Amino acid sequence: MLDPLLIWLESTALSQWVVASPSLLAFPGILALHAIGMAFAAGLSAMFDLRILGAARSVPLAEFERYLPVLWLGFWVNAVSGVLLLVGYPTKALTNPVFYLKLLLIGVAMTLVARTRRELAEVPADQPGFMPGPSSRLRRMAIVSLVCWTGAITAGRLLAYTYTRLTQYE
Amino acid sequence: MHTLQVWLVSAIGGESAIAEFMRTAWAWPIVESLHFIGLCMLVGAIGAFDLRLLGVARRVPIEAVHRLVPWGILGFVLNVTTGTMFVLTEPDQYIYNPAFHLKLAFILIAGVNANLFYLTSFRQAFGPTPRLDAPRRAKIIAAVSLCAWMTVIVSGRMITFFRPGPCFGEQTSLLLTCDP
């Protein structure tokens, strides 16, 4: 059912470029970008989580949101580079359940980033110097976020080892 | 240098207990995943501090963001450990690999650069009166730090594309980049 789509995708010029171009900017460059985006998205999100769980308490929680644009930039770099990698090897990813698990974990992790920010914004700002500790709900969300990123990174790495078909013709 | 590289590869050998472990099912991918997790901790913490020095989240005291740095060091230790496990298992794949040489060089640059911060700007940045703006020198160090770590990631990712092949003829480069 998926096969016609995969055959078509693999026949596109973009797919052929990603896979077969000898340029370091093609497949190697896209992979490198994907690693950099991961570092900023997962890394800054993990620091946000650790702060909620009690690390670096002197950083005002509400101010941490200044880092979120960089976190989102990392996410979008990875959405774009990830789509390019997917166009390059659609069969490899889409026939592997681990790929869908990875997407799910990233989806949950990024939803938690947005929700955590919203919950922090609801803390009344009319009490300067008043710094309530993060609620147990926020702490639980931080733990789930750390678990999701760990799982997403591991699932991503395992994609190189768990695929059953590389392309339509192999 | 060539002789040193050849000696290193034969001295490491790839037959240690760690190498044996790394050849068991799933050990290599799991250790790779840990290497990526360590990378995220390193760049998350050090990157957050660098960005603060460069002016992001200006209302947060520099000293406060610096509290994240131990998590970055923890990530670095995790990555030196897991990285060493790869080299102990397949020494020739790294010792003769130009991308790995570049990666080590930039880790060294990032390390020297970080120490430069503590030697030259630490007191200014953390002085008795909290500063909103980091001194100019600290900003340059922060920019170098971000660039160096990103280059470490890129060259690390390139290792697999620069695997050494067999040597042909005379080697004239500074480092051996083929498997003799």
For residue B173, tell me if it sits in a domain: no
Q: What is the pLDDT of residue A127?
A: 52
Residue B161, C-beta contacts closer than 8 angstroms, at least 6 positions apart: A24, A28, B99
For residue A4, tell me if it sits in a domain: no
Number of domains in chain B: 1
Local confidence band at A121 (pLDDT 50, 70, 90 cut-offs): confident
A157 and B42 within 8 Å at the Cβ level: the answer is no
Average pLDDT in the A19-39 region? 97
For residue B172, tell me if it sits in a domain: no
Residue A140, C-beta contacts closer than 8 angstroms, at least 6 positions apart: none
Q: What is the mean pLDDT of chain B?
A: 94
Q: What is the pLDDT of residue B109?
A: 98
Local confidence band at B180 (pLDDT 50, 70, 90 cut-offs): confident
B39 and A36 within 8 Å at the Cβ level: the answer is no
A32 and B157 within 8 Å at the Cβ level: the answer is yes
For residue B180, tell me if it sits in a domain: no
For residue B56, tell me if it sits in a domain: yes
pLDDT digits (tens, 9 = 90+) for B70-92: 999 999 999 999 999 999 999 99
Q: How far apart are CA B49 and CA B43, in angstroms?
A: 9
For residue B177, tell me if it sits in a domain: no
For residue A145, tell me if it sits in a domain: yes
pLDDT digits (tens, 9 = 90+) for B158-176: 999 999 999 987 777 889 9
Which domain covers residue B130, as residue numbers?
2-162
For residue B100, tell me if it sits in a domain: yes
Query: Measured between CA atoms, how close is B17 to chain A, in angstroms?
Result: 23
pLDDT digits (tens, 9 = 90+) for A94-119: 999 999 999 999 999 999 999 999 99
Q: How far apart are CA B1 and CA B10, in angstroms?
A: 14
Helix (H, G, I), strand (E, B) or coil at B166: strand
What is the chain B residue with the closest CA to A43?
B44
Q: What is the pLDDT of residue A123?
A: 66
Q: In a mutagenesis test of the A interface, which of B28, B31, B43 is the best target, namely the one with the most A β-carbons within 10 Å?
A: B43
In the predicted structure, residue B124 carries a pLDDT above the cut 80: no
Q: Which of A73, A69, A160, A146 is nearest to A112 (CA)?
A: A146
Q: What percentage of chain B carries pLDDT values higher than 90?
A: 82
Q: How far apart are CA B26 and CA B154, in angstroms?
A: 24
Which domain covers residue A71, as residue numbers?
23-123+131-162
Q: What is the pLDDT of residue B131?
A: 72
Average pLDDT in the B10-21 region? 94
Number of domains in chain A: 1
In the predicted structure, residue B17 carries a pLDDT above the cut 80: yes
Q: What is the pLDDT of residue B125?
A: 75
For residue B24, tell me if it sits in a domain: yes
Q: What is the mean pLDDT of chain A?
A: 93
Q: What is the pLDDT of residue B141?
A: 97
Q: What percentage of chain A carries pLDDT values higher than 90?
A: 84
Looking at this predicted complex, what is its ipTM? 0.94
